[in-house]
Structure 1
Amino acid sequence: MLSFAILPGLTGLVTINANGSRIPLFSVYVLDANFNQVTAINFTITDGVPVMTKGYTNEAATLWGTRGGHRPLVRPKCGFTGLDCPRPFWEQYGIYVMVGAGLIAILLIVFVILIFYARELQQESKRSLQSGPSTMTADSKLTESNFGEYEICFLENNAVLTKTYPAVGLTDNDKSIFPQMRKLDHDNVNRFIGLSIDGSEYIAIWRMCSRGTLQDLISKGSLWFDPFFMLCIMRDIAEASRQDALHITVIGYSIPTKLDYWLSRSSLFKLLFGLLWLAPEHLRSPETSVKKSKEGDIYSFAIIASEVVTRKAAWNLNERKERIDELLYMLKKGGPAPPRPELNVDGDINVAVLHLIRDCWNERPTDRPNCETLCNMLKTMMPDKKSNLMDHMFNMLEDYTTTLELDVEERTKQLHEEKKKADILLGKMLPRQVADRLKLGQAVEPESFDSVTVFFSDVVKFTQLAAKCTAFQVVNLLNDLYNGFDSIIEEHSVYKVESIGDGYLCVSGLPVRNGSTHIKEIAELSLSFMKFVDEFRIAALPKERVQLRIGLNSGPCVAGVVGLSMPRYCLFGDTVNTSSRMESNGKAGHIHMSKEAHDLLINEYTADYETQSRGEVIIKGKGVMETFWLIGRRAATSARPPSEVYVKQNTDEKSEQRKDDPTVLAELSTSDKTPPSTPSTVSSNTMYKEYLRSNTVEVS
């Protein structure tokens, strides 16, 4: 008997054992690298023992072909949660590295700063001069080359003037001169401080005068530079020359070294001498310049004096065609007409001073005046023998102060006048109370007014009139019309809010409250406007007449300032809108009033004004409203007659109303009343105008 049987089944062959039980067969299928199904493992159970049969020979190619031949790990490298992997070094210790690097960098910076600071202190202890910026400006009238060799430095925190020289050997005789120069202290001589020999070059140190040089004073055109001041400067220079305090000597290659700067008695001025200031005889024979030469000092004085009286550089090298070497050659050569600075003076200089300067730079040294004669002549030329420079300066200060006070007073008056003009102009643009608050920088809060009267007016058929005129004629028309309106407004307690084109917006009762008087003010204003346009004539169109349409309304209103760059005082509220509707639904030559304005006018001023009911009218946005006409003021004989337009429209009021005012849709009442017609006695246009003049009540 067979131990098993193989039978075909629904899904394949089925193996049955001897007991009639099915022997299970399990297979594992995988996809190879080409995604084809391949049997990887077969499981069978024989005698209760499972038997596995591999269906592959190459595990990597068969089982893991889709994974690149790599068998997956039993446990992921970083674990099933991903937390078992070690973190990167920078992620784990990066913050410690950055903090440590920052501390190291700070320590290095502090260390470097300390090194430089210690080195600077060491160098500072070795030197006594620290270079500073030059104070000379490029716009000086004198040549910049005169100052190129000098620098402003600091010695023990004090400004000094220095000049460098080539380092040469100094003998004992040379060194003995420096203490004598240091001891030299004269009002007219700049003080020598010392000579620095610690370096490749020698540095001569002189006292620094912070108030500038004589050249600076000349170039700036000082206030004090008047003839008296010039003579004082020349006198001080002459006194210094007489006292052996002013000399020019040349050592070696004709380079001036003994005195480079001159200071006046008040230590205000210093002047650099160059070869052009040296006497011609010294230029021709440099060896003679070692000795003192009074005649050479007189010549140098003349060159300096020419700068003082002309207020510019002596030789004016910027405008001369000769170069400086050519000019020096001409000076050495001499001759009957040697070159000299020009004496073109602008102020009131004594002619004797100019002649004295010419005598001092005479080509022949023996013909020049000596120091004593020079000083005496300068004293005789002083305008006030008893006055000195300080007294003169004080007098000039007093005069200047007086002039300044007058100028300040005059400018203050002009400022007040301009301020008044600005206030007047601002008052025309904004209410005075509002303008004052805005000028003080205060905020203007909106304000509510319980009762005001708003006025709107419009020129009837203005577009047609403008079409007949040029642009300039339209401007002139509006200007003439508005000038008349503005003059009328100034006579009433009315504020003009704005004018847009041919429209006018006015209000009474704000910003200054006036009780119930505002309705009277607006009524008088309206009647005055009507009278003005009756007599107004257009210059460009003599036959045309200007007609107004006016609307009035009374009620509450809110006013406030709107805008920053161009603030405007604006009105808000239904009272303003209703007043605008009264104007737009009115008629030419008529004053249209709302019931509120009419009741207020009649209740307060019953005997003063005459009104007439227009009836009920449909007003756009308002519905049915009863409105009234303001006829005029009551007089002993008659009220203000209607205008010509009203007479023409009297025959058919309703049809004319719809034609002139499209916003009025219909008249709901047949009780409309018309103003009194033109008197029958008036038979012509001329007579009618005369009637207007005689019966219209003047508005005060």
Structure 2
Amino acid sequence: MRPPLCAFHSKTRTWAAHGHTTPDHPKAHPAPLPISSPLFSSIPRSLQLPRYQYGVFWFLLLAVLCLWLIGPSPAHAAHFRVGVVGPWSCDPLFSKALPSVAAQLAVNRINRDPVLSLAATFDYVILEEKCETSRALDGFMGFIGPANPGYCDAASLLGKGWNKAVFSWGCVGYELDDVRSHPTFAHSMPRPTWVLISLMQHFRWAQVGIIASSEDSWVETSIKVANSLRSHGMPVRLVVTIGNDPGSVRKTLAKLKKVEDLRLVIMCMHSALIGGGPQKLLLETAKDMRLTEGSLVFLPYDTLLYSLPYHNVTYPALRSNSKLLKAYDAVLTVTIDSPKTSFYQAYQEAIDRGEIAGNVKPTQVNTYCVAVICSRASAMLTHTHTLLTLSKQCCDLFQGFSHPVRTNMSGASLADYVILDTDGKTWDLRPTHRIEMAADMVRFLGRDIHFPHGISPKTDSNCWFIKGIICTGGTHTHTQIYVNHPSFLFVYVSLLLSRRRINHIRLFRGPNKILLTLDDVTFINPSLSNKVSSYRLMQELNIQIDNFTSSTFKKLFLLLFCLSLFYLQNGDWAWLKRLPHGTFRNINPKTSDVFELMKDMRHENINLFLGFFHDCGVFAIVTEFCTRGSMEDLLLNEDVKLDWMFKSSLLLDLIKGMKYLHHRNLYHGRLKSRNCVVDGRFVLKISDYGYNEVLEAAKFPYTEPPAEDLLWTAPEILRGPSPGLYGSLHGDVYSFAIIMQEVVMRGPPFYMLEQSKIRKPPPLCRPVVSPDYAPMECIQLMKQCWNEEPDRRPCFDQIFDLFKNINKGRKTNIIDSMLRMLEQYSSNLEELIRERTEELEIEKQKTEKLLTQMLPPTVANALKVGGTVEPEYFDNVTLYFSDIVGFTTISANSEPIEVVDLLNDLYTLFDAIIGNHDVYKVETIGDAYMVASGLPVANGDRHAAEISNMALDILSAVGTFKMRHMPDVPVRIRIGLHSGPCVAGVVGLTMPRYCLFGDTVTTASRMESTGMPYRIHVHNSTVKILLELKAGYKVQLRGKTDLKGKGGTEETYWLIGKDNFEKPLPVPPEFKKGQMAHGLQMEEIARYKKKKAEKLQQLTKKNN
């Protein structure tokens, strides 16, 4: 059968698949066909037919993958047409397909979802002609397929040669994992062998056989599956092919029966549940040959490639065939799980929405989850990316046709698989376990597998599933070598004895000697409080003081009170772990071997063994001292805050340390939180390893440990003799689980049970851990580790991999995390400093702006540096003075706050005007406003013009100014101008002010005080400058004016305008005889008072 392929034409932007191609018939519909998808295939609704066909609806996947690989980006929205081509005439199963229905379903849903279509529209065309794709090969960018694993290597090599991406769901060869050799190949789903190995590892079934039907595709599949399993170290004992006649099947099963210790039989053929005849014949014949009695488990391979419905589904193949039903009791069906929505429910919903015609059977419609994957990734295509790169960038979780779909960073789907089982009596498939590919975990679903007659296949050695270990099925490799090579055995023993002799010498000599005495240590002097119990401790040790010299006695005295803490000669801190009191006369070879083994332990998470102290009747193990104490101390210290990062770091250190010990073929036997110590860098180190071996080798008498010390001990060890003295690898895993409970809950073992004595023990007594304290995966791992059956507990290699998945690959080392936090804090601190600096600069600018508003910039700069401001003489400046006419009267008839509001409004108006002129505001005193031009920066002869222009603008603005509290009372000002020399300087140190001094200031003030309302009174000196400028200033002679303090009268002028000055000026009021020119007229105030009285009277009437 030709492998189906699908490709995209880069010039016409059209997809085509390998098979029939008929562009003239874009929507021809082939006949119905039960289908099969590479990921999530439908299962035939036509199970009620007498003959069931294997479903193959891969073409929808092909179309959808095309959408994934070559979809438009949002910036290049377009219309894309997908060509669906397949070997409809090459295989009788494909002749019944309805590709148009399935393609229409996928296209409709993609076009309806803007997240998937990304502003593009998709269409499809059904192509039926044969094998014309090769002519357009250069125009395609990628291929989908092949379905036959035998063609995968060739397809990948062709894709590499053509530089075309190849995507396949059925390839299982481990050779394709080599990216260098196959750079253009990618898997579109988890390889079935991953699922098989997860199941085999969970149940410890390593010995496997493979039976394939006679079709070429299944024969190639069986070969590739066998090679892939063998690449993972699995012993594939048999790979055979069966024919279609009972005799051939019986001969094949006879070969199978001769294979000893076989646990699992993988059937590479169409499933009997969907009409697979060869599998039905195989199982019925196996039933006759008594191969389905429980010693073997049969597993269909094809159900790994699609989702087999099992929710409320009855399979007629089992219901109508009692023999097959009984045989199927020995079958475990593994398929993609769809827990929330069954395929039929999703199919019915599609019919209700009008997406599928009501007369189309579900055997002809596939799920569209891959369509979603492809379309979501389609938007990422640019001219700078390859299809293979884009396929690996799609990492997301979304809803498929009937179940959620998750993809990893490699672009492969990480669907959950479910293990289905029958009980041999009913025809229902019921789930027992879920294989979670994302977490690499097999989760128990609460229902045990029903094996025929209650007999399950035997388990194989755990070494088959440990990487890097050669497993021989129970026979030790060294034993085979010794038996077959006696000469090698003799040489090996000689070398071993020589090495033992050398190591025995090393025990007592050299800087790295193991046996330590009082001469090798320097003790820390104990405190006085520790010396009180000296006599009691000496009695316990039964030491005769008289037998020692005074020097020896002094050292021994310090030894007894050193709290087990001392210095070695090289200056390292050490900790002394006393052994039980007993007879320890000499070091025998077995004890020496244990010491050498402990001395060779070198690992970051193993507390370094420094030696064995043996002097003055004291026997103790010497290890490195860790400043943070034990894990138990750390957990009980409430001052230390432990978040999940901290906890997971400690647990990961413990896992790595135990993993190292077990790889060295050494179990701990006494693992608990109090012999896990933490150093100053918060790195956990395992201590007390080899303690039991030392006791056994030195033949110390057994003392039963306290009951609380046995809470970490595995139940199978508690039931044996001398609990606490012997351990096992599985027992260490149990102890680790109890430590996990301590770390997660931050409490002693079993503390949440609140039971002091159990009258009738439950079947299992285990701690209860709430999901609020740790991730659910962590709790699940904990439960696996304290499983009642030791063989069901994972090894520390598996625990390490599972724990990394729980942390999602993040580094949990505390020092790394602290450094990362410090870097983040440093970055945040830099950003904070930058923000604060910017804020400081803004505030500085505000302060400087305020200072320059109060003082000239040159003066302000001099004062900021602490300098003095020298008075400065200016030859010619023009001064401006103004005040409010009748301000005293207005103030007398106003509230203080109203006066403040008046002055603030008026001076704000003035300040806005002077900003448009080259002038400097000197000060305001009450209603007086003083401005100068020509200082503090000289401006030539422009000072008179600048002041005059400003005065005209101010006078125009005052003409329309209204008081808020007296809108009917006019605000009139008098303005006086004068030009001449003056001196400017800063007077005083507290609240310094920039002041002007000279006769010019006095004269300008007199010009204002002798002026008239709405008039600009100008001195002759200013008029001369204005006329010399010839700028069109209009002045009117006022006449002789008596300027008080000047000693006579002088001619003064009115400034009444300027050429091109178009702003309206207020009309000066006319004064009758007897009226005051320097105040408000009484009738103006009287009108205001009258209106105010009337308002108060009206307000009083309303209140009454």
TM-score range, shorter chain: 0.5 to 0.7
Determine if contact 1:277/1:303 at 8 Å carries over to the other structure: no
Determine if contact 1:298/1:370 at 8 Å carries over to the other structure: yes
> Structure 1 residues 358, 423: CA separation in 2 closer, same or farther (over 3 Å shift)?
farther
Report the alpha carbon displacement of residue 525 of structure 1 after superposing the two structures with TM: 1.1
CA distance, structure 2, for counterparts of residue 219 and residue 276 of structure 1 = 29
> Structure 1 residues 302, 166: CA separation in 2 closer, same or farther (over 3 Å shift)?
closer
CA distance, structure 2, for counterparts of residue 468 and residue 248 of structure 1 = 100
**Per-residue displacement from partner, 1:98-136 (whole Å, max 9, x unpaired)?**
xxxxxxxxxxxxxxxxxxxxxxxxxxxx9665999xxxx
Report the alpha carbon displacement of residue 371 of structure 1 after superposing the two structures with TM: 1.6
> Structure 1 residues 277, 402: CA separation in 2 closer, same or farther (over 3 Å shift)?
farther
Map 1:409-488; keep pairs closer than 5 Å: 420-436=845-861, 441=865, 443=867, 445-450=869-874, 451-466=876-891, 468-469=893-894, 473-488=898-913
CA distance, structure 2, for counterparts of residue 204 and residue 524 of structure 1 = 98
- The reply on whether 1:377 has 2:802 as its aligned counterpart is yes
Ranked by relative contact order (alpha carbons within 8 Å, sequence separation 6 or more), the top structure is 2
- Secondary structure of 2:922's aligned partner: strand
Map 1:322-361; keep pairs closer than 5 Å: 330=755, 340=768, 342-344=770-772, 351-357=776-782, 359-360=784-785
**Per-residue displacement from partner, 1:19-61 (whole Å, max 9, x unpaired)?**
xxxxxxxxxxxxxxxxxxxxxxxxxxxxxxxxxxxxxxxxxxx
Q: Tell me the residue number matched to 2:1055.
A: 631
- The one of 1057, 1070, 1076 equivalent to 1:648 is 1070
Report the alpha carbon displacement of residue 529 of structure 1 after superposing the two structures with TM: 0.9
- The reply on whether 1:288 has 2:723 as its aligned counterpart is yes
Report the alpha carbon displacement of residue 243 of structure 1 after superposing the two structures with TM: 1.7
Aligned AA (1:589) = Y
- The one of 680, 683, 694 equivalent to 1:269 is 683
CA distance, structure 2, for counterparts of residue 160 and residue 410 of structure 1 = 47
> Structure 1 residues 607, 188: CA separation in 2 closer, same or farther (over 3 Å shift)?
same
> Structure 1 residues 558, 377: CA separation in 2 closer, same or farther (over 3 Å shift)?
same
**Per-residue displacement from partner, 1:338-385 (whole Å, max 9, x unpaired)?**
655655379xx7x53453345446788776533232123234556469
> Structure 1 residues 314, 603: CA separation in 2 closer, same or farther (over 3 Å shift)?
same
Map 1:277-316; keep pairs closer than 5 Å: 280-282=711-713, 288-292=723-727, 294=729, 297-298=732-733, 301=736, 314-315=744-745
Determine if contact 2:976/2:1018 at 8 Å carries over to the other structure: yes
Q: Tell me the residue number matched to 1:539.
A: 964
Report the alpha carbon displacement of residue 520 of structure 1 after superposing the two structures with TM: 1.3
TM-score, scaled relative to structure 1: 0.52
Determine if contact 1:247/1:258 at 8 Å carries over to the other structure: no
Report the alpha carbon displacement of residue 448 of structure 1 after superposing the two structures with TM: 0.9
Gaps of 5+ in 2: 1-520, 528-561, 689-705, 1081-1104
Q: Tell me the residue number matched to 1:491.
A: 916
CA distance, structure 1, for counterparts of residue 564 and residue 976 of structure 2 = 84
Determine if contact 2:607/2:623 at 8 Å carries over to the other structure: no
> Structure 1 residues 315, 385: CA separation in 2 closer, same or farther (over 3 Å shift)?
closer
Report the alpha carbon displacement of residue 497 of structure 1 after superposing the two structures with TM: 2.9
CA distance, structure 2, for counterparts of residue 628 and residue 161 of structure 1 = 106
Q: Please identify the structure whose Cα radius of gyration is greater.
A: 1
> Structure 1 residues 302, 612: CA separation in 2 closer, same or farther (over 3 Å shift)?
farther
Report the alpha carbon displacement of residue 326 of structure 1 after superposing the two structures with TM: 6.7
- Secondary structure of 2:967's aligned partner: coil
- Secondary structure of 2:959's aligned partner: helix
- Secondary structure of 2:916's aligned partner: coil
> Structure 1 residues 633, 257: CA separation in 2 closer, same or farther (over 3 Å shift)?
closer
- Secondary structure of 2:678's aligned partner: coil
Determine if contact 2:873/2:982 at 8 Å carries over to the other structure: yes
Determine if contact 1:457/1:549 at 8 Å carries over to the other structure: yes
- Secondary structure of 1:647's aligned partner: coil
CA distance, structure 1, for counterparts of residue 626 and residue 638 of structure 2 = 16
CA distance, structure 2, for counterparts of residue 574 and residue 154 of structure 1 = 93
> Structure 1 residues 522, 261: CA separation in 2 closer, same or farther (over 3 Å shift)?
same
CA distance, structure 1, for counterparts of residue 568 and residue 791 of structure 2 = 45
- The reply on whether 1:185 has 2:575 as its aligned counterpart is no
> Structure 1 residues 387, 362: CA separation in 2 closer, same or farther (over 3 Å shift)?
closer
- Secondary structure of 1:378's aligned partner: helix
- Secondary structure of 1:483's aligned partner: helix
- Aligned-pair Cα RMSD in Å: 6.1
Report the alpha carbon displacement of residue 544 of structure 1 after superposing the two structures with TM: 1.8
Aligned AA (1:516) = D
> Structure 1 residues 361, 192: CA separation in 2 closer, same or farther (over 3 Å shift)?
same
> Structure 1 residues 339, 390: CA separation in 2 closer, same or farther (over 3 Å shift)?
closer
> Structure 1 residues 565, 574: CA separation in 2 closer, same or farther (over 3 Å shift)?
same
Report the alpha carbon displacement of residue 543 of structure 1 after superposing the two structures with TM: 0.8
Q: Which moved more, 1:552-561 or 1:450-459?
A: 552-561
- Secondary structure of 2:903's aligned partner: helix
Q: Tell me the residue number matched to 1:508.
A: 933
Q: Tell me the residue number matched to 1:553.
A: 978
Determine if contact 2:526/2:563 at 8 Å carries over to the other structure: no
Determine if contact 1:150/1:162 at 8 Å carries over to the other structure: no
Aligned AA (1:538) = M
Q: Tell me the residue number matched to 1:39.
A: none
CA distance, structure 1, for counterparts of residue 566 and residue 1001 of structure 2 = 78
Report the alpha carbon displacement of residue 481 of structure 1 after superposing the two structures with TM: 2.2
CA distance, structure 2, for counterparts of residue 150 and residue 590 of structure 1 = 102
- The reply on whether 1:260 has 2:260 as its aligned counterpart is no
Map 1:234-249; keep pairs closer than 5 Å: 234-244=651-661
> Structure 1 residues 375, 482: CA separation in 2 closer, same or farther (over 3 Å shift)?
same
- Secondary structure of 1:288's aligned partner: coil
> Structure 1 residues 156, 171: CA separation in 2 closer, same or farther (over 3 Å shift)?
closer
Report the alpha carbon displacement of residue 421 of structure 1 after superposing the two structures with TM: 4.7
Determine if contact 2:682/2:815 at 8 Å carries over to the other structure: no
Determine if contact 2:913/2:954 at 8 Å carries over to the other structure: yes
Determine if contact 1:248/1:297 at 8 Å carries over to the other structure: yes
CA distance, structure 2, for counterparts of residue 477 and residue 190 of structure 1 = 85
Determine if contact 2:914/2:950 at 8 Å carries over to the other structure: yes
TM-score, scaled relative to structure 2: 0.35
Report the alpha carbon displacement of residue 492 of structure 1 after superposing the two structures with TM: 0.2
Q: Tell me the residue number matched to 1:44.
A: none
- The one of 940, 946, 970 equivalent to 1:521 is 946
Report the alpha carbon displacement of residue 250 of structure 1 after superposing the two structures with TM: 6.3
Report the alpha carbon displacement of residue 600 of structure 1 after superposing the two structures with TM: 3.8
Determine if contact 2:852/2:860 at 8 Å carries over to the other structure: yes
CA distance, structure 2, for counterparts of residue 154 and residue 586 of structure 1 = 101
- Secondary structure of 2:939's aligned partner: coil
CA distance, structure 2, for counterparts of residue 283 and residue 574 of structure 1 = 109
Report the alpha carbon displacement of residue 490 of structure 1 after superposing the two structures with TM: 1.0
**Per-residue displacement from partner, 1:252-273 (whole Å, max 9, x unpaired)?**
xxx976442268xxx5534899
> Structure 1 residues 589, 315: CA separation in 2 closer, same or farther (over 3 Å shift)?
same
CA distance, structure 1, for counterparts of residue 1042 and residue 1048 of structure 2 = 5
Determine if contact 2:745/2:769 at 8 Å carries over to the other structure: yes
- Give % identity: 31
Determine if contact 1:295/1:368 at 8 Å carries over to the other structure: yes
CA distance, structure 2, for counterparts of residue 153 and residue 532 of structure 1 = 93
Map 1:129-168; keep pairs closer than 5 Å: 129=524
